[in-house]
Structure 1
Amino acid sequence: MKTDPTYPLFPICAFLGFIISLVPISWHFQAWNAGTCLYMFWVSVACLVQFVDSVVWHGTLNNHAPIWCDIASKIIIGAGVAIPAASLCINRRLYIVTSVKTVSFTVEDRRRAVYIDLAIGAGIPVLVMILHTVVQGHRYDILEDVGCIPVIYNTIPAYPLVFMWPVVIGCVSFVYAGLTLRAFLQRRASINDVLSATTTLNVNRYFRLMLLAFIEMTCTVPLSAYSIYINTSGVTLAPWISWSDTHFDFGRIDKIPSVIWRSDHAFYVSVEMGRWIYPTCAFVFFGLFGFASEARKHYRMVWMFLAPRISLVRLNPRCVQFRIIGTMP
């Protein structure tokens, strides 16, 4: 049996991605940054799913948790759409902030913006998860060392219902990013004044969000298009006959040993790219926001809260005094 070359590196990275992608969520939540919060949520959930699967199904093909696989395979479908959708929310917000002449948002305006972001970043992924059922050929597959993966029957309706959503969302996000860049170049002299008028977005956070959005924008469309190509290349495009034909023997669960799926280079690349993308998104996000001034401030607050309670250090307002337990009064 061919050993897994990514173990234990991948589960470690996936678990770290699950943790670190949620680190900045409190201050983004306080700032009403719904798109950013959705991005963190979906990346974290996807990393958790990949972590559990890579550990539970390491070296085995046993159907340990059928209900978990039903849920996990749907989450994978949803996350593939949700992360580009969250990026679209970020790009859209940046465009609004950059292009308007005055930044004066009422509570009602912010609430409306949150509702729109939720419709895009949560509603569209849930819709695609539901639509996936139409072209779900059977329950799910189990790949050794990888875990549960969703099944998409390669038929014509699968493209508008499932495959094309990341590409379409990425293209819309690309347009928003281009408009944001143009508005920024036109108003770069007054951008500080514009941002200072809002309490939810400072200059540093604005540029970090812009960089995150541009990274997602440049990666989403080519990676999504390549994923469609590599997943359908060499697979016969079947005609849509009927619901019953597509879902014939729906309860079937195909189990594929690692030596088999890794021997197919195209499929191997597709699987590894599909699961490494989520820890990569988590680390990129943490690299942009995990060391910002807001992050350092919250780290200090957490440390000052925890330190006295674990009896390791004693803090005073001016300095940090270390005390070895039991040796000093």
Structure 2
Amino acid sequence: MHPEFAPVAFIAAFSLVLPLPCHWRAGNVATLSIMFWLFLANMIYAIDAVVWAGSIDIVGAVWCDISTKLIIGTNIALPAACLCICIHLEQVASVRLARTSQSDKRRRQIFESLMCFALPVLYMILHYIVQGHRFDIIEDYGCRPTVYFSVPSIILIWLLPILLSVASIIFGGLALRHFIKRRISFAAHLDASQSALTTSRYLRLMLMSMLEMVWSIALTSYTLWFNFLSSPVRPYTSWADVHSNFSRIDTYPSLFLPPLVIRAYYFLWWLIPISTFAFVAMFAFGRDAVEDYKKLFFVVRNVTLRRKSSSTASKGAFDKR
């Protein structure tokens, strides 16, 4: 039993509300998509931790069909969003993009929408090629997607996210190089390019992208290594063979799982909440976010004082009667 799973995942999910307003105003699709996919993953983890705490009962099959596909989508959406951020940071920091126009911003938003939402949807559809059966239920963890471990699954499920992360590292390195070259006049360069970025936000985006890339590579490499240990690479003989008995749902009580498998699931589970808390820590306490909190505080205070004043006036009028 892991009673801490559900509270931690719920807190991680709703903590993403803190940096939401400033990123929404900036219109950065890639950053908003990271928040969207992290929120979905945390909510799935939280609900699964409640429903399957100490249980492997086959309930909510439709929920499992949807949630396991969304987990697959998250695996590609996060590195894709990091790549979009690194490409944008490199373009802003370079001399190639002297000024950001509305048409440039619109084209970037379209590209990021395709990468961060259309690509994950396509990825979820392609997952069916290497989906050996419907899904698995792991005690305390809930529904998890299944993969027929073969050469096509290695390319599709593990290699593609790694390639996106490697591309992000290349663009991130170039962006950092541009920043170091003009670090003294960097703030003036950002103003001249009419970017919504500040130097502080630029560095936070860079740090967040680097962390997410490290997490993505670590997660993908670890799961690939774990699959190599737990099962041999199987031949992808035919579509009918791979998808035979596709409606099967396998259940795994923790009592019968090897310690290595339990440690692997535990490690992989914590990656999503930790990534979320790291994201929130970097953006929920920036100057722009703090200004939003102050505005909200003044609005709440003024509304409260206005209500108190009106109630006091009403009470005074009633006493005069």
1:153-192 map, 5 Å: 153-192=148-187
Shift of 1:205: 0.9
- What residue is the counterpart of 2:271 in the other structure? 277
| Conserved 8 A contact 1:131-1:162 | no
| Conserved 8 A contact 1:231-1:267 | no
- After TM superposition, the score normalised by the length of structure 1 is 0.89
Say which SS state the counterpart of residue 141 (structure 1) adopts.
Answer: strand
Q: Is the aligned partner of 1:140 residue 2:135?
A: yes
- Residues 275-327 of structure 1: CA deviation (Å, up to 9, x unaligned): 21111111001100111122122222333334455xxx527xxxxx99x999x
- What residue is the counterpart of 1:42 in the other structure? 37
Say which SS state the counterpart of residue 206 (structure 1) adopts.
Answer: helix
1:250-265 map, 5 Å: 250-261=246-257, 264-265=258-259
- After TM superposition, the score normalised by the length of structure 2 is 0.91
Q: 1:287 aligns with which of 281, 284, 294?
A: 281
Cα distance in 1, alignment partners of residues 97 and 33 from structure 2: 26
- What residue is the counterpart of 1:106 in the other structure? 101
Say which SS state the counterpart of residue 314 (structure 1) adopts.
Answer: helix
Letter in 2 for 1:239: P
Cα distance in 2, alignment partners of residues 72 and 206 from structure 1: 33
1:1-329 map, 5 Å: 4=1, 6-7=2-3, 9-100=4-95, 103-197=98-192, 198-261=194-257, 264-307=258-301, 313-314=304-305
Cα distance in 1, alignment partners of residues 163 and 77 from structure 2: 12
Say which SS state the counterpart of residue 305 (structure 2) adopts.
Answer: strand
Gaps of 5+ in 1: 316-320
| Conserved 8 A contact 2:208-2:282 | yes
- Residues 151-179 of structure 1: CA deviation (Å, up to 9, x unaligned): 00111111112121221111111111111
| Conserved 8 A contact 2:92-2:195 | no
Shift of 1:257: 0.7
- Greater helix proportion: 2
How many residue pairs get matched? 314
Letter in 2 for 1:70: D
Say which SS state the counterpart of residue 274 (structure 2) adopts.
Answer: helix
C-alpha distance 64-183 of structure 1, shift in aligned 2 (>3 A): same
Cα distance in 2, alignment partners of residues 139 and 218 from structure 1: 30
| Conserved 8 A contact 2:64-2:135 | yes
Cα distance in 2, alignment partners of residues 145 and 183 from structure 1: 47
